[in-house]
Structure 1
Amino acid sequence: MRAGKIAGVELILNNWFLILIAIFMAAGLVSKVLLIFSAVLWHESAHMLMAVGLGYRVKQVELLPFGAIARIDRLADAGAASEIMIAAAGPLASMGLAVLCYALGEGAGNWQEVLRFFTDINLMLAGFNLLPALPLDGGRILRALLSRRRDYRDATAIVVTISHITGGLLLAFAGVTFWLYNTLNLTMLIAAVFLFLTAQTENRLAGFRVMRILANKKAELTGSGIMPASHLTAMKTATIREIIRLFGSEEYYIVHVVDKDFKLCGALTETEIWEGLIKKGVKARISEFL
């Protein structure tokens, strides 16, 4: 549901977020709903400020049950370092606010209970978002770290598997709680279902990232006539799979191919490799592309 715009950024309330809010309101906890809403906005504002500071433009923010997703131009094509910085900003901001509220809560009189609840909410937001599951911040950080060593799609698939395991553990925890205490933890159930559904979406989107990155690079190079480049050196026997996993999103790559005596056999641009990949496949040797 669209809830308007804040500073030109469209605000959307996710259906799962609305369900969680409705549960709190049905229980007569309207004031706590407002505190949860403000905590989520604070968390997401940190993401947006970091993204803007790194030169990205924020178009839309969708509030989720335990955080939010900021839709930022070209963020999906960002390098690992940028993705880590943007993802980590939210949990750090939530933890910082929790520490401040805890410090202010001592001797706060009538406000002590409110500050204690706000502290708990921010700690929960930070802790939950640091779980290694997509689309949570922890999952994005883990995927960015893995993508430094392997293909982005492989990294996404690994984190999606971890996301499903995490969702299963949350579901099991809710079941055990119900069995032991006869109490149904709806929040935990919503979180588990949310992770199962959204993680699979991330897996489907990952396949389009490579082509988007290449298209953006070609557009930038064509438009400006120049862009940063990196050079790689590969033996003739190296496979294309081994080479493309080293390609980053923020530089254009040129691969120098050498033989066993380290004599230069030729050079290939990133575009030539991707275009040849369609015909020859990822298991082909780089020497077949010369």
Structure 2
Amino acid sequence: MRAGKVAGVQLIFNNWFLALVVLFAFAGLAGKALAVFAAVLWHEAAHAAAATVLGYRVREIELLPFGGVARIDRADTAGAASEIIMAAAGPLASLVLAAAVYLARAAYPAHALWLDFYYQVNITLAGFNLLPALPLDGGRILRALLALRWDWSEATATVAGFGKLLAVGLVAAAGVGLWRSSTVNLTFLVAAAWLFYAARAETATAGFRSMRILANKKAELTARGVMPTVHVTALASVRVSEVVRLFGPEQYYVVLVVDGDCRLRGALTETEVWEGWPERGFSSRIGDFL
């Protein structure tokens, strides 16, 4: 259900979220349910605010039964620094709110029970999201750091693997709970299913990131007529895969190809490199692209 726009961002209540609130209301826990999702909304709003400051457009924030998601245009093509800032903003906001609630407990002892609950909610939200596994915020931070030295697809596959391991761990924890107390922890099972599916989706789309980045650059250059450019100098004998590793998402690249005596043999735009690799392959020499 679309709940209107806040600062131009569409707020959506997932149907399953609404159903869960109704169930909690019948169980006499509607207040706690709304408190949890207020914390989630604060967390996701922090992601959205960081993205907006960095120049990205936030389309919508959707509240789900076990969390939320801020949908940000071009977020999957952000540079490492931008990705880290956007990912870290959510957990940081949750920790700030937890600190404020902790301080409020001393000032409002009559509400200590509710404040203790809200404190634990925000600490748990921050801690869980900081786990180094995709698609969680901690996983996005780790992937951005690994991508400074690794190929993006390789970094994604590694951190998505941690996400799948976390999903298996949650299923195992639910199994132990069933064995010890004969109760099923549905939260763990639903979270495990979501983690596993989302980790697979991250891996499946990682290979197309380079093409999305190039398409965005072409669109920006066409619209603005000018774009910051970075020059890379490479020996003609260097493999193209080593050159492509240097391409970042936030500037346009021009490769200056030189011979063994460092004399210029020619120049290649980033577009020419990407359009040439399907025919020549990443194991070819950059000089072959001239």
1:72-221 → structure 2 map (5 Å cutoff): 72-106=72-106, 108-221=108-221
* Cross-structure match for 1:37: 37
| Higher mean C-alpha deviation, range 84-93 or range 213-222 | 213-222
How much identity, in percent, do the aligned residues show? 57
**Superposition CA RMSD, Å:** 2.0
Unaligned runs of 5+ in 2: none
CA distance in 2 between counterparts of 1:46 and 1:66 reads 18
CA distance in 1 between counterparts of 2:104 and 2:42 reads 18
Offset at 1:209? 2.0
1:8-19 → structure 2 map (5 Å cutoff): 8-14=8-14, 17=17
TM-score, with normalisation over the residues of structure 1?
A: 0.92
Structure 1 73/156 Cα, relative in aligned 2: closer, same or farther at 3 Å?
A: same
Offset at 1:151? 2.3
| Higher mean C-alpha deviation, range 63-72 or range 228-237 | 63-72
Could you say what secondary structure the match of 2:195 adopts? helix
* Cross-structure match for 1:55: 55
Could you say what secondary structure the match of 1:283 adopts? coil
* Cross-structure match for 1:68: 68
Structure 1 28/19 Cα, relative in aligned 2: closer, same or farther at 3 Å?
A: same
Structure 1 244/222 Cα, relative in aligned 2: closer, same or farther at 3 Å?
A: same
Letter in 2 for 1:64: L
CA distance in 2 between counterparts of 1:141 and 1:17 reads 28
Offset at 1:35? 0.2
CA distance in 2 between counterparts of 1:19 and 1:161 reads 32
Offset at 1:70? 1.3
Offset at 1:104? 1.1
CA distance in 2 between counterparts of 1:159 and 1:3 reads 34
Tell me, yes or no, if the aligned pair for 1:151 and 1:244 is still in contact at 8 Å: no
Letter in 2 for 1:203: T
TM-score, with normalisation over the residues of structure 2?
A: 0.92
Offset at 1:273? 0.3
Structure 1 286/57 Cα, relative in aligned 2: closer, same or farther at 3 Å?
A: same
Structure 1 185/11 Cα, relative in aligned 2: closer, same or farther at 3 Å?
A: same
* Cross-structure match for 1:269: 269
Tell me, yes or no, if the aligned pair for 1:148 and 1:246 is still in contact at 8 Å: no
Aligned residues between the structures: 290
* Cross-structure match for 2:281: 281
Offset at 1:17? 4.5
Tell me, yes or no, if the aligned pair for 2:21 and 2:34 is still in contact at 8 Å: no
Could you say what secondary structure the match of 1:106 adopts? helix
Structure 1 247/23 Cα, relative in aligned 2: closer, same or farther at 3 Å?
A: farther
